[in-house]
Structure 1
Amino acid sequence: MTYRDRSVMVTLEAREARVQRPNWAPAEVDLDRPSAARVYDFYLGGLHNFAVDREMAARAVADWPELPAIMQANRAFLRRAVRHLAAQGIDQFLDIGSGIPTVGNVHEVAQAALGDARVVYVDIDPIAVAHARALLEDDANTGVVQADFVDVGAVLEDPVTRSLLDFSRPVGLLVVALLHFVGDERRPAEALARYREAMAPGSHLVLSHASADGAPDRADEHRSLYRRTATPMTMRSRDEVAALLDGFTLVEPGIVFLPQWRPDDPVPPANPERFTGYAAVGRRD
């Protein structure tokens, strides 16, 4: 089946599905508008997405066939970074912009390394939050908060956050594939500085960010697709990503393309710049 055929198929599927609402979907969720969190879930092989999300994903993949591999590389970086933090003894994590929990998410990786690790997931998307709460209701060491990344007080002072995380000890702050959905007008660097001030020395920031540096010819198409969602995309250069890490000491190998950050495979991928996203981990000294 060609990408064109697949796009036609999912378009028809989307039109048919709009008259139905799955019993797991909150009433306030708009079935006619794609969600970045649900599109990401689809790329990762998850099941918590709608036909309209799959339609958007198919259109994106038709224009950019490497896109699912980029998303999977981003998730692989997340797993490697969490394992690294766990090896440093960090046993509590604040994952902002967490999306819909799928296989290999933070609590699974952290608890595999440290059985009593605690994780708070934060997302602004009601469907992501609803799914996370349903999936994690039996795990006493995890919690879910619905809040906006830039509303730092709402995140840090939420009763769930306060009950699970102790900010007098090192914490792992994860903003993976999030900040490219936070435009400059919302001052993401200022929000990160406030989180940094609340973190104890020895804490770490884990960050990945979409960029046009690796594939400028594809960037405009990708940005135009995300303008259809509630979270349009702001791609940033390496220097702009570095500015977001101000106040943190970079962990080796620094700011690199996604598959280059401490890869599990000793054989590096060909053309890593085509993964069009930077990865970095910084330590709060």
Structure 2
Amino acid sequence: MPDHSEWTPAHVNTEAPSAARVYDWLLGGGHNFAVDRAVGRKVLEAQPDGLRIARSNRAFLGRAVRYLVDQGITQFLDLGSGIPTAGNVHEVAQRANPESRVIYVDYDPVAVAHSQLMLRDNERASIVDADICEPQAVLQAAETRRLLDLDQPVALLTVAVFHFVPDERRPKEILAEYIAHLAPGSYVALSHLTADQMPTEMAGVVEAMKNSRDPMYFRSYAEISDMLEGLELVPPGLVDAPSWHREEGDDDDQQGIYAAVGRKP
């Protein structure tokens, strides 16, 4: 485990768990605290497939970014990006097309600080410290305006983020506001945890996360599909994450998270 002082802002409460840091731990990262690991272990006690679900989601992100680069997309807006670990959007996109530009958005101070450190020499990628539930703050941020041209197609990445947004904050309307500001030909990639297949286990995950900074709100297939209304879904549509553009050699059949990519007409 690295020295916390190297990557932890002074004002961070190391006794309060954070979803970004729990996810970092599940993916094998080193930028988390004891309290995050304790919550992560509770998640795995409730849902033994938690590691597979996290990795399945991460694999979907990589496939989606490669697909979008193949469609000619060179601009990416990654909401709720979390703590940079291997296989981040800028790494995948810029490997496929060095001209790709990426804006990450998160409000976890460790995620922001570590992203700033990681991206300090990358002129085509940056991080915006903002709440993704405030689209105007994200879209009007200086770094967003510097790197992204919203008059041209953009890939909006909402990967494993909206299950942290409660119904009262109107996640569908938040997503719709982002989409309204995107040019035609833009894409939205979305993944979202669900309790459809494993209600008991996923209820345990909700319980494990309820006292963290980021409690969770799982949704059904119908509710997630409704969030994508108005987009032209890329085949095979909204499916279990491993089934979206499965690549040769993939044998993952993990359920628990739905995924889709849609195009704005």
TM above 0.5: yes
1:279 aligns with 2:227: no
Name the structure, 1 or 2, with higher relative contact order (CA <8 Å, separation 6+): 2
Paired with 1:21 and 1:197, the residues of 2 have a C-alpha distance of 40
Q: Which residue of 2 aligns with 1:8?
A: none
> What TM-score comes out, normalization by structure 2 length?
0.96
Q: Which residue of 1 aligns with 2:40?
A: 57
| Structure 2 SS opposite 1:140 | coil
Q: How does 1:145-184 map to 2 (within 5 A)?
A: 145-184=128-167
Kept in 2: contact 1:133–1:143 (CA 8 A) = yes
Kept in 1: contact 2:165–2:217 (CA 8 A) = yes
Q: Which runs of 4+ in 1 moved over 4 A?
A: none
Deviations 1:161-182 (A, max 9, x none): 0000001111000010000000
Higher-Rg structure is 1
Paired with 1:171 and 1:53, the residues of 2 have a C-alpha distance of 33
How big is the shift at 1:21? 5.5
Q: How does 1:84-233 map to 2 (within 5 A)?
A: 84-233=67-216
Paired with 1:63 and 1:181, the residues of 2 have a C-alpha distance of 18
Paired with 1:130 and 1:208, the residues of 2 have a C-alpha distance of 25
Please tell me the residue identity of whatever aligns with 2:65.
V
How big is the shift at 1:109? 0.4
How big is the shift at 1:59? 2.1
The counterpart of 1:252, out of the listed 213, 232, 235, is 235
Deviations 1:115-162 (A, max 9, x none): 110000000111111110011111000011011112111000000000
Q: Identity across aligned pairs (percent)?
A: 49
Rate the CA distance shift 1:200–1:80 in 2: closer, same or farther, 3 A.
same
How big is the shift at 1:244? 0.7
How big is the shift at 1:42? 0.9
**Unaligned stretches of 5+ in structure 2?**
none
How big is the shift at 1:228? 1.7
> What TM-score comes out, normalization by structure 1 length?
0.90
How big is the shift at 1:45? 1.2
RMSD: 1.5
Q: Which residue of 2 aligns with 1:29?
A: 12
Paired with 1:115 and 1:275, the residues of 2 have a C-alpha distance of 34
* Count of aligned residue pairs for this structure pair: 264
Q: Which residue of 2 aligns with 1:79?
A: 62
Paired with 1:176 and 1:140, the residues of 2 have a C-alpha distance of 24
Kept in 1: contact 2:46–2:202 (CA 8 A) = no
Paired with 2:250 and 2:99, the residues of 1 have a C-alpha distance of 34
How big is the shift at 1:268? 4.8
**Unaligned stretches of 5+ in structure 1?**
1-19
1:67 aligns with 2:50: yes
Rate the CA distance shift 1:284–1:131 in 2: closer, same or farther, 3 A.
same
Paired with 1:28 and 1:154, the residues of 2 have a C-alpha distance of 22
Kept in 2: contact 1:260–1:268 (CA 8 A) = no
Paired with 1:265 and 1:184, the residues of 2 have a C-alpha distance of 38
Paired with 2:8 and 2:132, the residues of 1 have a C-alpha distance of 23
